[in-house]
Amino acid sequence: MSEPVVQVTDLVKRYGEIEAVRGINFAVTAGETFGFLGPNGAGKSTTIKILCTLANPTQGSANVAGYDVVKQRDDVRRNIGLVFQDTTLDAYLTGEQNLRFHADLYGVPRQQLAPRLKQVLEMVNLWDRKDSAVSTYSGGMKRRLEIARGLLHAPRVLFLDEPTVGLDPQTRSSIWEYVNDLKQREDITIFLTTHYMDEAEHCDRIAIIDHGKIVAIDTPENLKASVGKDRVQISTADDHAAIEEIKTKFDLEAAIREGLVTFSVASGEQFVPRLFAELTQPIRSVSVARPTLDDVFMSYTGRTIRDTEATAGDRNRGMMMAMRRGR
Amino acid sequence: MTAQLTTKNVDPVTAAIRVSVPERGLRQDLRAVRIVWHRELIRWKSDRLRAVTSLVQPVLFLFVLGTGLSALAGHGLPPGISFKTFVYPGVLAMSVLFTAIFSAGSIVWDREFGFLREMLVAPVSRSAIVLGKCLGGATVATFQGVIILALAGAAGVPYNPLLFLTVIGELLLLSFTLTAFGVMMAARITQMQAFMALTQMLVMPLFFLSGALYPLSGLPAWLTVLTRFDPLTYIVSPMRHAVFSHLSVSPAAASFLAPNVTWAGWQVPVGLSLGMVAVMGAALLGIAIAEFQKTE
């Protein structure tokens, strides 16, 4: 097997008393699309910041493209491309000026610059808009320009931190088209973070991160297979009574998720007729779903990612404060 | 496997561009200094409004205050020298003062809009970025000064090439030091309002205590001491000295209106004055670089 392109060993990052990353280990092989999946505040962005040399680890080590992120910072930087969740473009400059600025900072050889510039801009369909100021671009165009810029110096690893956050669904899917297209054209490893379950499906492998720890790491298929059960959600006249009844009659643990009585059971479709026959509480609606990454997340953390988002607010704020103090 | 198969379908010309980024070296750093500097110029050129608005204040001081006070201040001035001519070097300093600080303040915007991060993750030394920023701010501020310099005739100052070269050099030095000061502040201040409020609070006393609007001689002791502590004094005085050496005034009048800075009676030579400003600029640059060197 080839040498891993990203290698993380016992990585810990603390901001004051808050432990954002609590000892994680993983490796990404060349050519892989590797996804970091978790709710906001789980430690995804902190990890990516360390891998991009923007933050130093408190403990542990990380290697990117064969270089240590603390000791060989410039070598790491030469070999990575970055697309952050917030834009990092100069809106006063044109698209092309932004890319030329980047090329000069990264020392892209001048004779290679013009053809490469054209290539990356055409890849993201912005060649005809290259002379417009970035302030006139839409959100999706800005993100595409950032992807083009991240690729300009032909990095070995492209980091995409929440590449589609804040974009409408149509633009989101078009961004994924560009990313998938990119995999075919360039010899590149993609490391991305997301909190959208459906987007994690684009990855070859996924690490599920929660409260600063990796709770599972595998291909999307294997992760889903590991759950094995279908998810059944029902709405009843008295949800709490229904949960009691499901417990006593079927010996299944149900809980209220997203406002519905939710439980996991093997072969959900065959179970539903029994449910209707035996449950005394009138059922208003029912849905059965094959395991998704959402269920994977739930089975490993006991919560859906949306439940987590709702309660993560406080933790996030605490962390932001700690980060600011840390500066 | 699939990736390899489909690569063959891709246009061979586009697929052939292999970019190789060189290892970091002095050449890379110089290229980074140049582009960061160049960006400041592009932004200045595209932001005409800012260029025009920052001319308003110096023009007001020169023509409105200068003319308005002429009658009153005229009694103390030798014949043929108007108050406008006297304040002209001070107004030149003022014209670069705000532009230089504001240029440095754009780092705060850059941080807010994320562009700073693009610069900070690049494989170049942070010193190159900070130096490029300071040189860019200095250049842009000096341009503003040159616009005021073009109005020399209206202030009764002759269009003398040697005088202009001297003054432009002095403005460049002042602009650089001020930008370095602003960049140092911008490294720590993350909000634009706070940056503007703080610099405003510092810039006005700096200007009023510099002798930009009045001669340094014959001041009460407390004000004399304060002017000597104001770095701007050491650039306004040489500029006024340069302007007055190109006017036809009696030596006595010149030494009253445009004296060298004195320390307890000792005349500070122009070279030392400028040298001190240069050392200060270099020190501020050093602090600014150190501030940006930090990693979380």
- Read off the pLDDT of residues A248-270 as tens digits, 9 standing for 90 and up: 888 888 888 888 898 888 888 88
| A108–B19 CB contact, under 8 Å | yes
* Closest-CA distance of chain B to residue A231, Å: 34
Of B19, B27, B31, the CB nearest to A116: B19
Q: H-helix or E-strand containing B58? A: helix B48-59
Q: H-helix or E-strand containing A256? A: strand A255-257
Q: How many domains does chain B have?
A: 1
Q: What is the residue-averaged pLDDT of chain A?
A: 86
Of B14, B24, B118, the CB nearest to A74: B24
Q: Is the CB of A192 inside 8 Å of chain B's CB atoms?
A: no
pLDDT band at A2 (very low <50, low <70, confident <90, very high): low
For residue B6, being part of any structural domain is answered with no
In chain A, the percentage of residues whose pLDDT exceeds 70 is 92
Name the burial class of residue A284, with classes exposed (0-12), middle (13-18) and buried (19+) by CB atoms within 10 angstroms of its CB: exposed
Of B3, B22, B31, the CB nearest to A184: B3
- Among A228, A245, A207, A233, residue whose Cα is nearest residue A292: A228
Beta carbons within 10 angstroms of residue B133's beta carbon:
29
pLDDT band at A311 (very low <50, low <70, confident <90, very high): low
For residue B138, being part of any structural domain is answered with yes
| A108–B23 CB contact, under 8 Å | no
Cα-based angle B147, B176, B49 (whole degrees, multiple of 5): 40
pLDDT band at A310 (very low <50, low <70, confident <90, very high): low
Tell whether the model's pLDDT for residue A143 goes beyond 80.
yes
Of A52, A100, A185, the CB nearest to B10: A185
The encoded tokens of residue A49 equal 């910041």
Beta carbons within 10 angstroms of residue A148's beta carbon:
28
Alpha helices, H only, A129-168: 139-152
Chain B residue with the nearest C-alpha to that of A85: B114
Q: Is the CB of A105 inside 8 Å of chain B's CB atoms?
A: yes
pLDDT band at A309 (very low <50, low <70, confident <90, very high): low
Residue range A229-290 forms a domain whose CATH class is alpha beta
Give contacts of B10 with chain A, Cβ < 8 Å: 184-185
For residue B72, being part of any structural domain is answered with yes
Helices B192-208 and B83-112 meet at what angle, rounded to 10?
160
Q: CA-to-CA distance for A107 and A207, rounded, in angstroms?
A: 34
Backbone region of residue B114 per phi and psi (left: phi > 0; alpha: psi in -120 to 50; beta: other values): left
Whole domain around residue B38: which residue ranges?
26-293
Q: Is the CB of A30 inside 8 Å of chain B's CB atoms?
A: no
| B42–A107 CB contact, under 8 Å | no
Q: Is the CB of A82 inside 8 Å of chain B's CB atoms?
A: yes
Name the burial class of residue B83, with classes exposed (0-12), middle (13-18) and buried (19+) by CB atoms within 10 angstroms of its CB: buried
Q: What pLDDT does residue B11 have?
A: 47
Distance of CA A280 to the CA centre of its chain: 42
- Is pTM, for the whole model, over 0.90? no
Secondary structure letter of residue B269 according to DSSP: P
- Among A251, A266, A264, residue whose Cα is nearest residue A297: A264
Q: What pLDDT does residue A141 have?
A: 92
Q: Is the CB of A89 inside 8 Å of chain B's CB atoms?
A: yes
Q: What are phi and psi of B245, to 5 degrees?
A: -70, -15
- Among B115, B112, B95, B96, residue whose Cα is nearest residue B193: B112
Give contacts of A183 with chain B, Cβ < 8 Å: 3
Q: What pLDDT does residue A306 have?
A: 67
| A86–B34 CB contact, under 8 Å | no
For residue B189, being part of any structural domain is answered with yes
Domain coordinates in residue numbering, chain A = 6-219, 229-290
* Assembly ipTM: 0.84
For residue B5, being part of any structural domain is answered with no
* Closest-CA distance of chain A to residue B112, Å: 9
Of A53, A88, A101, the CB nearest to B35: A101
Considering the four listed CATH numbers 3.40.50.300, 1.10.3720.10, 3.40.50.970, 3.90.1150.10, the one that applies to the domain covering A6-219 is 3.40.50.300
- Rounded average pLDDT over A205-225: 90
Q: CA-to-CA distance for B135 and B175, rounded, in angstroms?
A: 9
In chain A, the percentage of residues whose pLDDT exceeds 90 is 45
Considering only residues B291 and A169, tell me which one the structure prediction assigns the higher pLDDT.
Answer: B291
Predicted confidence pLDDT, tens digits, chain B (296 residues): 333 434 434 444 445 467 777 777 888 899 999 999 999 999 888 888 888 888 898 999 999 988 888 888 777 778 778 889 999 999 999 999 988 998 999 999 999 888 999 998 999 999 999 999 999 999 999 999 999 999 999 999 999 999 999 999 999 999 999 999 999 999 988 899 999 999 889 999 999 999 899 888 888 999 999 999 999 999 999 999 999 999 888 888 888 888 888 888 888 899 999 999 999 999 999 999 999 988 76
